[in-house]
Structure 1
């Protein structure tokens, strides 16, 4: 068999292995995501659509889309909800979750491209097995979280990748991507100071000035936008607690605080060493991706430690722990031929373990929401919305009356029991 045919066969195996966890993941999400709002879905999606129907002009629509949700600007989430409603006539939370989860594919592609292993198909499977596990299931099955948490990562990674390419068109793409990331979630704006320092370090001064100008406009617009609620930030006065949160955040692929602390400390040291090691430090895109993850972890630690260090183990945060480990693997995959076997073994273990641990939790949530029902005289029972079930009832009743959204059939008034 010619050598080219052997290479194609090996590449085909790599693509096929990468496709398996991706397919299983999207089938699982489509099957176990309830078409029922959960938590922030009420304000971020249903209330947005109610106000969209009442808007009388483009100015109101733009203000509605860009309004901050707590400390976050979730414009992309709101745009996705509005487009889904306009296309299909009623919003569907399963579709919205899937839209958000597709950003995971984009994240994997950007990281592979940034690592320079685009044509090494056998380097792909560990990336997809790791990213398409269920450790961060709270984001994967939750419409608002998927559209915000994954979009900000995708656009931020894309921005730093384009920023390293030096072409004018790539610089423009970097500016647009950074802007999109900033209006996906709060930590997206962190890509601007990372990019500014990098451009100055690379002595690309004219582009640094343009980047600073864009950053200034985005920051001014961002902090001028009124918030629908106060910022949910509770810093700690103890440095030790903040550092503990930082390392647990980076190691939250494990749900054990002790193990997460150790994994996070090792990961932080490893990416720092890789950034200055001659063999791997020359990879600018991966270095900037690592910087974005580390600074996001610092920002989370600075703003959330007051809620308790165990908050860092929240499933929705563990995507950053997954990404930092993926970055370490990709940094080594380009320079060594001996990383694939241990990486594929660990990635398979991580993926299978995440399904075993996290899928039952999502099934419980799915069943909890589907058991929620409307009882005559007592309103909605069992729907999760932080302020109160009465608030959820009012929002749902208005959305149904305006034909924006309708609960699944199982939530209709139950038939009276026979006497």
Structure 2
């Protein structure tokens, strides 16, 4: 529905309110690259908002959501392009791909799929980063390197952890001794750094209010990073299962680093590096908020992706080394697929509960607005710390100045409820 939620107020409606009065291409362009929401400059969100303001003269939040929901398809296709699978027959080929789709296409990260700002921040940066790594892995192609640089730009425009891609790509190019490409890659990253930090407000930390973003990293929480990696294996309140799964994934990743897999499948290995680096980056930026915050629904796509990449490693390296008979191999793959089906069903159930919780929160907030003495947002029981935070700040704020200004400017039209 065309209803703003949390960061949608400042990130989309707030941007639009300031964008519309501007005149001239240059001031509008500068606003797109300088507008900042909390620690982030989501230039891609700004750009999509600006295009809507220019073409239809209003903001449509479902457009953001639909675009975000389409991106996992691109992630799936990119991962398949990295996957060097071997199959003797069609049935085995299907079984070797099915877990990838089951681990990616699920509702673990439902809040990202049902949230305009998050959907156009978290998902594009993953898609563009994976695509850039895939193009960088094609070492003999200058054209592929050019595409990789383009997707680096898109990644940084999507979210700050796009700079993690610049580090990952730099290590990849250095390992392959592609020094000329490394120079151009570094120049592209530096140019994007200049754009991103132009007029950047460093005193914008959410984890440590009033402090600088750099100061927030002094509260780096290793347990947060581990829980972040394993969050897809836990509920929304207890981080013990997520820490356990995260430790397993981290140990597997450490083993893979010393196994020579980086030469066997460059794209998959460095995609793992990107996910792990993102986990540690978020642990620095958000670690002060507590480990439970690592279980937020919007983050879980990273954990899902790590499971997919580890599965590909098992299929490419471990399973062939076992030298199983074809019939035994099919049984093993069938068992893995069955477990993934159960995992997907459980994830969808949890995700649907989350979406239902947000729906009830919206109803409660509307009731509280219409009848302040009869209803309160506290009547809704949240299952996710992220949802609880949204309830505290108001999942829907019909009297918010940003929303009132957007309606006044006819940039936002509230739906008939």
Instruction: Report the TM-score range of the alignment, normalised by the length of the smaller protein.
Output: 0.7 to 0.9
> In the TM superposition, what whole-angstrom CA distance separates every residue of 1:324-368 from its partner, at most 9, and x where no partner exists?
111001122234374632332222112111122221221121233
Return the match for 1:245 from 180, 204, 224.
224
Distance 1:238 1:217, change over 3 A: closer
Q: Which residue number in structure 2 is paired with residue 366 of structure 1?
A: 359
Return the match for 1:182 from 156, 173, 185.
156
Note the C-alpha offset of 1:63: 2.1
Note the C-alpha offset of 1:78: 1.9
Q: Which residue number in structure 2 is paired with residue 71 of structure 1?
A: 39
Q: Which residue number in structure 2 is paired with residue 219 of structure 1?
A: 193
Q: Which residue number in structure 1 is paired with residue 272 of structure 2?
A: 290
Q: How does 1:28-107 map to 2 (within 5 A)?
A: 34-66=1-33, 67-107=35-75
Q: Which residue number in structure 1 is paired with residue 282 of structure 2?
A: 300
2:305 aligned with 1:323, yes or no?
Answer: yes
2:184 aligned with 1:210, yes or no?
Answer: yes
Distance 1:302 1:393, change over 3 A: closer
Which whole-Å CA distance do the structure 2 matches of 1:74 and 1:263 have between them? 31
2:133 aligned with 1:160, yes or no?
Answer: yes
Which whole-Å CA distance do the structure 2 matches of 1:348 and 1:301 have between them? 30
Return the match for 1:268 from 240, 250, 255.
250
Distance 1:389 1:355, change over 3 A: closer
Which whole-Å CA distance do the structure 1 matches of 2:18 and 2:246 have between them? 42
Return the match for 1:129 from 97, 102, 127.
102
Q: Which residue number in structure 2 is paired with residue 143 of structure 1?
A: 116
Note the C-alpha offset of 1:116: 2.5
Which whole-Å CA distance do the structure 2 matches of 1:387 and 1:223 have between them? 30
TM-score scaled by structure 2?
0.82
Note the C-alpha offset of 1:264: 0.2
Which whole-Å CA distance do the structure 2 matches of 1:86 and 1:228 have between them? 30
Q: Which residue number in structure 2 is paired with residue 31 of structure 1?
A: none
Range that drifts further, 177-186 or 309-318: 309-318
Range that drifts further, 183-192 or 361-370: 361-370
Note the C-alpha offset of 1:249: 0.8
> In the TM superposition, what whole-angstrom CA distance separates every residue of 1:58-113 from its partner, at most 9, and x where no partner exists?
22212221223222221111222333454455422223112112111111111111
Which whole-Å CA distance do the structure 2 matches of 1:279 and 1:396 have between them? 51
Note the C-alpha offset of 1:243: 1.8
Note the C-alpha offset of 1:224: 2.1
Q: Which residue number in structure 2 is paired with residue 347 of structure 1?
A: 340
Which whole-Å CA distance do the structure 1 matches of 2:395 and 2:101 have between them? 39
Note the C-alpha offset of 1:218: 1.4
When the two chains are superposed, the root-mean-square deviation of aligned CA atoms in Å is: 2.8
Distance 1:249 1:409, change over 3 A: same
Which whole-Å CA distance do the structure 2 matches of 1:344 and 1:249 have between them? 24
Note the C-alpha offset of 1:227: 3.7
Contact 1:274 1:281 in 2 (8 A): no
Contact 1:329 1:343 in 2 (8 A): no
Note the C-alpha offset of 1:259: 1.0
Which whole-Å CA distance do the structure 2 matches of 1:229 and 1:94 have between them? 32
TM-score scaled by structure 1?
0.81
